[in-house]
Structure 1
């Protein structure tokens, strides 16, 4: 059953890739031939995000031609779905007045994201041309950090006083809904404009007309402050299964909301960032980065790795005389160190994910650590028996096989311990556990693996020389 699902998922993914390739080919052909009818047909039959993907490989002149055929609302839909690089390209091709017209069809949080990628001078010029009320909102949103709740929230929501009746609330919803991003949840405030509850649109529709919002609202509101980290916000939305989460100031007044589509973007961004950091790669790099950009972002971590490699090399140099007497040690010792590194990386991946999900905290991890060490012992024993048997048969030396068995078991136990401890300690000191954990773990398993294996070899050298 699982295999059938996997095949189905693969076929759907392949089908989507083929559709994207065909869309890109047809769009570029229509644009190159300036075939207005074909372009309009493709726009009408396609989703904005598919158009945005297809436009990524288009020339600037073709992008100008395509956008000239669309109205401001259509351009806004495509720009909202485009990735950052394409958004920057498109904004460079438009004059300020056209950008302002397009912005009128976009939500404030999307506008802020685009402004944040613009050069400072052009951003200031655009903000100055906006209406005074919009300037205030935009400047407030730009003032929040990019990865905070304030940085990803939208100010387009429906807020109502708790004293309104259901019939009055429905009239206001009809009036406000066309200009608001989120209408499924109504945010209820008291006389002091503090957030006191929420009412879903469904609850509003089934309630009696004479009921007040105070009568039907849910008063147990989950909210965040604008300075909250976006990863913590995503965790709350996932935990309580929310469609949107309100952002409140110190006085509990609502200043915005974060919708579930933005939360999905945060989860994808954070997962991608953690994955890249585990590999020592910057989140800014992608497959289309230039050679210089890739070198600049990768080289620092490679240099750190080089320094730690010298530690492992220094450990090996302590046993040069032992290695010179038993050459087979040189072939066997990378097995112990390599397996330790692999085991440590497995533990690291599980722990970093646990920290990200909030399952692992800074204290009370003793049982988890002992469990990890037990897993390391069993895995080390199984792999050590197999490696020891193969090495003893290849070298004709049973003692070497037994040393491999003991060294690998010990090193995989160390890998499990260090793989759990390092990310937790980094988190305790407010460092991202995904950034440098792999370097520390690889160094620990290499140094300990070499030291244990070569140390045992030196202790039992007479048996190895028989």
Structure 2
């Protein structure tokens, strides 16, 4: 999550108070701070420090909300460090959809243990939500919604709204149901308050309700909410029975997730910016191999026309062969660096680098990837050169050039967006065009520099 200037100031203040052991002062700050901001603050500390601060929050209910706002990595670490009793209590205090999201990240057997430890009513609601795919309307919906019978009067409906048990219900709209629990209408709070107390809901409701089914894809859900400017969207089953409600905050999360996936797909970097080393390797390798293949084809085309231009020469001049190698240097360097830059931009947009452990993990993984791709394609050039062009003494130069270009391009791809952000420029706009230009310059410099040296 992105951290604004106020939250950054709170991070520094809490860090100083923690170093002095001023626990009560930290608790006073937490009482006045929104739980979402506390989660952002915790993500700025190491995992062990974050857990220590988390336990300073005196209210278990607020702890539950904080836990629901944390990123997946920190959530899982907290669940592993906290006792089973603490986790069960926190899950019971969460909204069912948030609890389902947290349990959905755990292994099935562990999630089942926590469900069995929760109160029957709470566990039943969470288990129902866990039964739907995470990227479907069923997986997004909340079971906390307000549905009133169509025969209720306006006066009775207002009294129902004022009841204590309705406080946690989603009340952007009043959903109207029949005896079978089927969705038959909807009305806004404004409509309800401006109607006569004796009017029945079925007389004032809007009967043409726009809804989605349980298996509707999350992208379709987001587009529906965006199109009609809804604050919440009802979810029904095949019989039109009201099953839950998707709120606008859940849709915002979907839009952000879809935008991140589109960004990563455009950068040929897989579908997730938090992949393991081997998953990232498998996601990026096909695109790098394609760049290598296209660059090799360009090399052969230039080499072929060079042979036509100089038919009496058995071996082309070395400078001509070096020129033929330029497209391969440009293509593979640009793809390798763009992949790294795209992932960095995605992490910057999500605020993930505010957590130091996450940054260290990413940098370590990118270094291993750059070393692996450097070795892989450097050896590939060397073997292909020995096999098909043994008459040239440029093979080692080309092998070193391609290896060095991949390494330099990936390093630039990682650090260039970070530098751009430090300069208060938009890291989602400036880095890619500027990086492409810089990558081209480094490719030519490396190739001709090594050619001159050897």
Same fold (TM > 0.5): yes
Q: In structure 1, how many angstroms separate the alpha carbons of the residues matched to 2:211 and 2:293?
A: 50
| Residue 107 (structure 1) aligns with | 95
> Could you say if the C-alpha distance between residues 320 and 61 of structure 1 is closer, same or farther in structure 2, counting changes exceeding 3 Å?
closer
Instruction: Measure how far apart 1:65 and its partner are.
Output: 5.1
> Could you say if the C-alpha distance between residues 59 and 301 of structure 1 is closer, same or farther in structure 2, counting changes exceeding 3 Å?
closer
**What secondary structure does 2:243 align onto?**
strand
Instruction: Measure how far apart 1:311 and its partner are.
Output: 4.5
**What secondary structure does 1:75 align onto?**
helix
**What secondary structure does 1:104 align onto?**
helix
| Aligned equivalent of 2:82, options 81, 88, 94 | 94
**What secondary structure does 2:135 align onto?**
coil
RMSD: 2.9
Instruction: Measure how far apart 1:302 and its partner are.
Output: 2.4
- Residues 38-59 of structure 1 show CA distances to partners (whole Å, capped at 9, x for unaligned) of 1112212322222111112244
- Tell me which moved more, 221-230 or 33-42: 33-42
- Indicate if the aligned counterparts of 1:163 and 1:213 stay in contact, CA closer than 8 A: yes
Q: In structure 2, how many angstroms separate the alpha carbons of the residues matched to 1:179 and 1:126?
A: 26
> Could you say if the C-alpha distance between residues 58 and 181 of structure 1 is closer, same or farther in structure 2, counting changes exceeding 3 Å?
farther
| Residue 146 (structure 1) aligns with | 134
In the comparison of the two structures, how many residue pairs are matched?
321
In structure 1, the gaps of 5 or more residues are 1-12, 346-466
| Residue 375 (structure 2) aligns with | none
- Residues 61-82 of structure 1 show CA distances to partners (whole Å, capped at 9, x for unaligned) of 5523542442111212212222
| Residue 284 (structure 1) aligns with | 272
| Residue 44 (structure 1) aligns with | 31
Q: In structure 2, how many angstroms separate the alpha carbons of the residues matched to 1:137 and 1:62?
A: 30
| Residue 280 (structure 2) aligns with | 297
Asked if residue 317 in structure 1 is aligned to residue 305 in structure 2, the reply is no
> Could you say if the C-alpha distance between residues 178 and 314 of structure 1 is closer, same or farther in structure 2, counting changes exceeding 3 Å?
same
| Aligned equivalent of 1:235, options 223, 236, 252 | 223
> Could you say if the C-alpha distance between residues 313 and 173 of structure 1 is closer, same or farther in structure 2, counting changes exceeding 3 Å?
same
1:357-396 map, 5 Å: none
**What secondary structure does 1:191 align onto?**
coil
- Indicate if the aligned counterparts of 2:298 and 2:327 stay in contact, CA closer than 8 A: no
Asked if residue 27 in structure 1 is aligned to residue 14 in structure 2, the reply is yes
| Aligned equivalent of 1:272, options 224, 245, 260 | 260
- Residues 93-151 of structure 1 show CA distances to partners (whole Å, capped at 9, x for unaligned) of 32222223223332110000001112333211110122223232222211111111001
TM-score between the two structures when normalised by the length of structure 1: 0.63
**What secondary structure does 1:255 align onto?**
strand
- Indicate if the aligned counterparts of 2:38 and 2:66 stay in contact, CA closer than 8 A: yes
| Aligned equivalent of 2:233, options 235, 242, 245 | 245
| Residue 449 (structure 2) aligns with | none
Q: In structure 2, how many angstroms separate the alpha carbons of the residues matched to 1:318 and 1:65?
A: 63
| Residue 194 (structure 1) aligns with | 182
- Indicate if the aligned counterparts of 2:234 and 2:245 stay in contact, CA closer than 8 A: yes
**What secondary structure does 1:199 align onto?**
strand
Q: In structure 1, how many angstroms separate the alpha carbons of the residues matched to 2:258 and 2:47?
A: 31
- Indicate if the aligned counterparts of 1:177 and 1:183 stay in contact, CA closer than 8 A: no
> Could you say if the C-alpha distance between residues 137 and 75 of structure 1 is closer, same or farther in structure 2, counting changes exceeding 3 Å?
same
| Aligned equivalent of 1:157, options 116, 120, 145 | 145
In structure 2, the gaps of 5 or more residues are 311-319, 339-454
Instruction: Measure how far apart 1:176 and its partner are.
Output: 5.6
